[in-house]
Amino acid sequence: MISVRTAKGYDLPIKGAPLETSQTIASPATVAVLPEHIPFVRPRLAVAEGDRVAVGDLLFTDKTNLRFRFLSPGGGRIDAIHYGPRRVLREIVIRRDVENEPVTSLGRPLDGEAIDRYPRAELVAHLLAGGVWPLLRALPYRGIADPEQVPPAIFVSLDHREPFQVPPARYLENNRALFELGLRALKRLSPTVHVHADAADRAFCEAHQGLITHTVQGRYPADDPGVVLFHVRRSPEENTAWFIDGQDVLLMAHLLQSGAYPTARLFAVAGTGAAEPRYVASRLGAPIKDLAGEIGCRDPRYLVGGVLRGYTGDPEGHMGLYETALAVLPEPGDVDFLTLFRPGPNKPTYSRTFLSALRRAPLPMTTNVNGGRRACIACGYCADVCPVDIWPQMTLKSILAEEVEEYLAQGLLDCVECGLCTYVCPSKIELAATLQAAKHAYRKEQA
């Protein structure tokens, strides 16, 4: 195992982690697919409200690449198709026939040896037709991997450093053989497959020694595939590496092993707004309300994916294709009187300006911005936490001045969109969002 060390980054001291011992099983009445949150996809619908579908039936394809197929995670009836502003396709909701769910077969089951013998092009076609190809994504833009390319490497990330993610030990517990099958398939796609895990989980790393190629040391987001790539790459060609999440490898392997579209998903439900923070074994695209369970605060916000990188979920909506964490945090209420002059033993901060800096205990957080918007005062905190050595305050200025060569040379495309720069900024500048927007704009220009 190669050890990769990241000096920067930051572990958010946030309260509300799921209880290690608490895991429930759920069988939701509805499941959904959220095209809006699949990066860079322009959906072309293949179904209408009221249609009957089986698990694995086509729901929509991508207009920019018709080989990308998105299949139904449930069998039953299309209950609703929700659109957002400008007719953006938000949700395709399927009401399941819970008792007798129809399932479509997506090809013959394969074992490990069959996968090793499978020609690469056919394996790619198999994964595309089976609807699991979109789980493979490509750096630096994190869109769906291009099936025409052979990537320099695939990073399998067993990461959970962002608060409230599902630890890999939990989903690999009884699935190691399935995971190994998935890795065998990935090795057919790329000459190099890296599997990285957090070195802090010593027991986990020892138990899975044969699987893990890299152990990562450091704070969030040290185990992000982009950060690992930043540390292990030797040449610019490696920048277009692919990555896939550990749980998604299981989904891919499930398709290959059984010939049916995978539907199982293990979620983490957490945050101070969730009355019972726990793990839930449920279905791909499970409804948010079902997962969240009882709510322990007045004005909750549902964060799908995580408190840093996630998006705000509709309480009546469902989880996306990629997200395995649901955090519930309270929206800000009335703030304390004279906060400015309080020593702040309970105020979470990266800086050392509150008493909380003396004890690294988990603290409750809200979605308050916690300050007025100001011009950059060059405190340098953003550069101190950036895991890939970008100096966000400098890059922000280059972006605002539209100095394209400048901000690319400063490493904009290395940005892993971890959100830490915005988190620590005392001037409350939307650094991460600006960098992300610039990345997406540059991608559009390249296309």
Partner 1 sequence: MKAIRTLFHHLRPRFEEGGPYHKLYAFYESIETVFFGPVERSEGLPHVRDSLDVKRFMALVIVALIPHLCFGIYNSGFQSRLASGLSTDLLPVIWSGIWLVLPMVIVTYVVGFAWEILFAVVRKHEISEGLFVSCMLFPLTLPPGTPLWQVALGISFGIVIGKEVFGGTGRNFLNPALTGRAFLYFAYPVSLSGDQVWTVLSGARTTVVDTFTAATPLSVSASIPAGQGVEETLHSMGYGALKLFGGLYPGSVGGTSALLCILGGLFLILLGIASYRIILGGVLGVLCTGALLNLIAGPDSAPFLSLNPFYHLIMGGSAFGIVYMTTDPVSATHMKHVKWIYGFMCGMLTVLIRVFNPAFPEGVGLAILFMNLFNPLLDHIEVQLRMRRRIPNV
Site for partner 1 in 262-281 (CB under 8 A): none
- Candidate segments 16-24, 169-177, 248-256, 342-350, binder of partner 1 by CB under 8 A: 342-350
What contacts 338, CB < 8 A, 6 or more positions away?
none
In the set 49, 116, 173, 389, which binds partner 1 (CB under 8 A)? 389
In the set 309, 320, 387, 438, which binds partner 1 (CB under 8 A)? 309
- CA-to-CA dists, residue 63 to 44, 57, 68, angstroms: 6, 18, 9
Put the strands of the sheet holding 154-158 in their side by side order.
2-5, 214-217, 193-198, 154-158, 242-245, 137-138, 143-144
- What is the radius of gyration, based on Cα positions, of the chain? 22
d(C-alpha 81, C-alpha 90), whole Å: 8
In the set 60, 68, 243, 350, which binds partner 1 (CB under 8 A)? 350
In the set 32, 76, 393, 399, which binds partner 1 (CB under 8 A)? 393
352 binds partner 1 (CB under 8 A): yes
The number of C-alpha atoms within 13 Å of 276 and in the hemisphere containing its C-beta is 13
Total residue count of the chain as it appears in this document: 447
Least distance in angstroms from the C-beta of 193 to partner 1: 21
The nearer residue to partner 1, 52 or 428, going by C-beta atoms, is: 428
The nearer residue to partner 1, 229 or 252, going by C-beta atoms, is: 229
What contacts 304, CB < 8 A, 6 or more positions away?
37, 288, 310, 311, 312, 313, 319, 320, 323, 325, 326
Least distance in angstroms from the C-beta of 136 to partner 1: 20
361 binds partner 1 (CB under 8 A): no
- Considering only residues 125 through 184, tell me which ones interact with partner 1, judged by CB under 8 A: 140
In the set 50, 109, 191, 371, which binds partner 1 (CB under 8 A)? 371
In the set 138, 252, 284, 303, which binds partner 1 (CB under 8 A)? 303
State how beta strands 154-158 and 242-245 pair: parallel
7 binds partner 1 (CB under 8 A): no
3-class state of residue 380 by DSSP: coil
- Candidate segments 43-51, 187-195, 280-288, 305-313, binder of partner 1 by CB under 8 A: 305-313
217 binds partner 1 (CB under 8 A): no
Least distance in angstroms from the C-beta of 307 to partner 1: 5
Continuous segment of H or E residues that includes residue 432 = helix 431-446
- Considering only residues 218 through 237, tell me which ones interact with partner 1, judged by CB under 8 A: 233-236
332 binds partner 1 (CB under 8 A): yes
Residue type, 255: L
Least distance in angstroms from the C-beta of 370 to partner 1: 5
CA trace torsion 215, 218, 223, 227 (10° rounding): -110
Least distance in angstroms from the C-beta of 303 to partner 1: 5
Least distance in angstroms from the C-beta of 70 to partner 1: 24
Continuous segment of H or E residues that includes residue 45 = strand 43-45
**Could you tell me if 304 and 310 are in contact, meaning their C-beta atoms sit under 8 angstroms apart?**
yes
The nearer residue to partner 1, 19 or 335, going by C-beta atoms, is: 335
* Binding track, positions 70-109, relative to partner 1; x by CB under 8 A: ----------------------------------------
The nearer residue to partner 1, 26 or 379, going by C-beta atoms, is: 379
The nearer residue to partner 1, 110 or 327, going by C-beta atoms, is: 327
Least distance in angstroms from the C-beta of 17 to partner 1: 14
**Could you tell me if 323 and 304 are in contact, meaning their C-beta atoms sit under 8 angstroms apart?**
yes
d(C-alpha 215, C-alpha 200), whole Å: 9
- Candidate segments 30-38, 110-118, 123-131, 413-421, binder of partner 1 by CB under 8 A: 413-421
State how beta strands 214-217 and 58-62 pair: unpaired
The nearer residue to partner 1, 177 or 437, going by C-beta atoms, is: 437
366 binds partner 1 (CB under 8 A): yes
Least distance in angstroms from the C-beta of 90 to partner 1: 16
d(C-alpha 140, C-alpha 416), whole Å: 8
Size of the site for partner 1 (CB under 8 A): 79
384: exposed, middle or buried (Cβ count in 10 Å: 0-12, 13-18, 19+): middle
The nearer residue to partner 1, 139 or 199, going by C-beta atoms, is: 139
